[in-house]
Amino acid sequence: MKTNFKLLIVVGTMLFASCESDDASEPLTVERVVETETVVEVVKDPLVTEQLEVDDTTVFDNGFFVSAEGNFGSKDGSVSYVSNDLKTSTNFVFRKKNANKPLAGLIQSIAFNDENAYIINNDGAIITIVDRVTLKEKAIITSGLENPRYMAIIGNKGYITNWGDGLDTTDDYIAVLDLTTNTLDPNTIPLANGVEQIVSRDGKLYVSHKGAFSNNNIISVIDTNNNNAVETITVKDHPDELFFIPSGALVVLSEGHNFFNSTFSEIIRRSDGAISFIDVSTNTVTKELPLPVGNRASLLAQDKGNIYYYSNDSVFTINETTINLPTEGIEVGNIYGMNVKENTLYTCSTAFTTFSTLKAIDLESTSLTFVSVVGLGASKIYF
């Protein structure tokens, strides 16, 4: 019995020893993330935001939102908020304002009108409609969507691009949401394969056809005042980001595409990307700045007539008169989202296993002026 007792002591000590606690369990903080990030060109110490405490009365009317995709199927997309003075920020804002209910999906994008924000959950096939100031949920749409991507608003209607089944190239469509009743029109607008981003002007919708899991190279123009008649404009492969610039031209970023053999084991052809300028009075491409393989771009933003694109870890600036693409850019590292406001470039680091970092870079001095932590897989910055 004595030896048994000894054994118990030995075992007990071992068990105790393995109970040690350590800081391996602490949540990630801004400081911790910043520490491990390679920072651009730090001219002055970046401002790190304070955590904004959110309660039932908090309103989000003096700042901007960052949507974070999360991972496909992991139901962990989220929305972050940063105050305009860049002093406070907070993550998981929707959840904090809605009784701990998460958005629960890959948050592809958000569309806004004066009153509401329409949060598009891609893998959950849901649109969550919230008050854009309080972020309180007003309604959800759970049927009639399949792989929803982006939404554009004309008057009291929202137009949502849907891939349908991502492997089916013939079932893409636009779902039409009545913004006054928050119901989907049973009639949809069928379109060619791979609908992606969507913008509107003068009653017309402009849809980039990135091509879902395959490829496409067109912009669809839908005239909502003429029975949703569809015209198409051909651009380079994989058109994704698009917007109107102050001159009225539609600018489209085509990313270029890698074509695989039937077993996807080998790339058999790579196509160039381009930034295209479209005259929407004639629906013709007036200028195309090629982005050859090796210099393809994946993000596009604009501010005050300048156009910014992200290619090979740098952000480059052009405008409508640019003929030759610049070779000098601002090095920003590996980013998954960007936007520009008031001569400040905001970037989201590519991070799908931890929080992303949101950085603000002054475009004149190229110095980092601000850093914050935003959601995992942050992809869009909405001013």
Partner 1 sequence: MSRYSNFILLGLWFCGVCLHAQKKSFLNRKKEKGTVTELNEVKVYGFKNSKTAHQGQKVITLENKEIIRNPTNFTETLRFNSPIAFRDFGNGGVSSARFRGTSGTNTSVLWNGIPINAVGNGQTDFNALSINTTDEIKVVSGGSSVAYGSGAIGGSIIVKDNLSFSKHQNAQVFSSTGSFTTSNNFAKLNIGTDQWALKLSAAYNRSKNDYDFLDTRFRDEDGNTLKNENADYDNYNIDASLGYKFSNTNKLYLYTTKYEGDRFFSAGLPNPSSGKERNQDISQRNLLKWIFQFSKFSQSLKLAYLTQESRYFNNRFVNRSNFIKSKSWYADYNLNYRHSEIINFNYFITYENILGYTDIISKRTRESLAIGGSVNYKPLKSTTTTFSIRNENNSDFSVPVIVSFAGEQKIGIGATLKTNISTNYRVPTYNELFWPQVGDPNLEPEKSKQFEIGGDFKWRKISVSATYFYIDIEDKVQWLPSGSSNLWRPRNLEKVVHKGFEISAKAAITVLKKHYFNFITNFTQTLAKDLETNRRLPFVPQRLWNFNIDYNFKRINFFIQHLYQSKVFTSNNLSDFESIESFGIYNFGINYIILKKTKNKVVVGAKVNNVFNSLYYFTTLRPNPGRNFSVNVNYKFR
Subset of 208-227 contacting partner 1 (CB under 8 A): 213
Query: Which is closer to partner 1, CB of 136 or CB of 304?
Result: 136
Query: Which is closer to partner 1, CB of 322 or CB of 350?
Result: 350
- Beta carbon of residue 89, minimum distance to partner 1 (angstroms, whole number): 15
Q: Which residue has the tokens 């539609």?
A: 250
Tell me which of 50, 85, 168, 331 binds partner 1, using CB under 8 A: 168
- Beta carbon of residue 248, minimum distance to partner 1 (angstroms, whole number): 32
15 binds partner 1 per the rule CB under 8 A: yes
8 binds partner 1 per the rule CB under 8 A: yes
Subset of 98-127 contacting partner 1 (CB under 8 A): 99-102, 104-105, 121, 123-126
- Beta carbon of residue 241, minimum distance to partner 1 (angstroms, whole number): 15
End-to-end CA distance of the chain: 74
Q: Which stretch binds partner 1 (CB under 8 A): 60-68, 82-90, 231-239, 328-336?
A: 328-336
Query: Which is closer to partner 1, CB of 74 or CB of 366?
Result: 74
Q: Which stretch binds partner 1 (CB under 8 A): 232-240, 246-254, 277-285, 350-358?
A: 350-358
298 binds partner 1 per the rule CB under 8 A: yes
In 10 A of CB 74, how many CB atoms? 15
- Beta carbon of residue 137, minimum distance to partner 1 (angstroms, whole number): 10
Subset of 31-70 contacting partner 1 (CB under 8 A): 69
- Beta carbon of residue 202, minimum distance to partner 1 (angstroms, whole number): 32
CA distance 145 to 162: 7
Cβ neighbours of residue 109 closer than 8 Å, sequence gap 6 or more: 67, 120, 149, 150, 151, 380
85 binds partner 1 per the rule CB under 8 A: no
Q: Which stretch binds partner 1 (CB under 8 A): 4-12, 196-204, 235-243, 301-309?
A: 4-12
268 binds partner 1 per the rule CB under 8 A: no
- The full 3-state SS of the chain, as one line of letters, equals CHHHHHHHHHHHHHHHHCCCCCHHHCCCCHHHHHHHCCCCCCCCCCEECEECCCCCCCCCCCEEEEEECCCCCCCCCEEEEEECCCCEEECCHHHHHCCCCCCCCCEEEEEECCCEEEEEECCCCEEEEEECCCCCEEEEECCCCCCEEEEEEECCEEEEEECCCCCCCCCCEEEEEECCCCEECCCCEECCCCEEEEEEECCEEEEEECCCCCCCCEEEEEECCCCCEEEEEECCCCEEEEEECCCCCEEEEECCCEEECCCCCCEEEECCEEEEEEECCCCEEEEEEEECCCCCCCEEEEECCEEEEEECCEEEEECCCCCCCCCCCEECCCEEEEEEECCEEEEEECCCCCEEEEEEEECCCCCEEEEEEEEECEEEEEC
9 binds partner 1 per the rule CB under 8 A: no
313 binds partner 1 per the rule CB under 8 A: yes
140 binds partner 1 per the rule CB under 8 A: yes
- Beta carbon of residue 43, minimum distance to partner 1 (angstroms, whole number): 25
Tell me which of 38, 265, 321, 327 binds partner 1, using CB under 8 A: 265
Tell me which of 37, 131, 165, 303 binds partner 1, using CB under 8 A: 165
Tell me which of 14, 45, 61, 328 binds partner 1, using CB under 8 A: 14
Strand partners, 266: none
4 binds partner 1 per the rule CB under 8 A: yes
139 binds partner 1 per the rule CB under 8 A: yes
| Residue count, binding to partner 1 (CB under 8 A) | 72
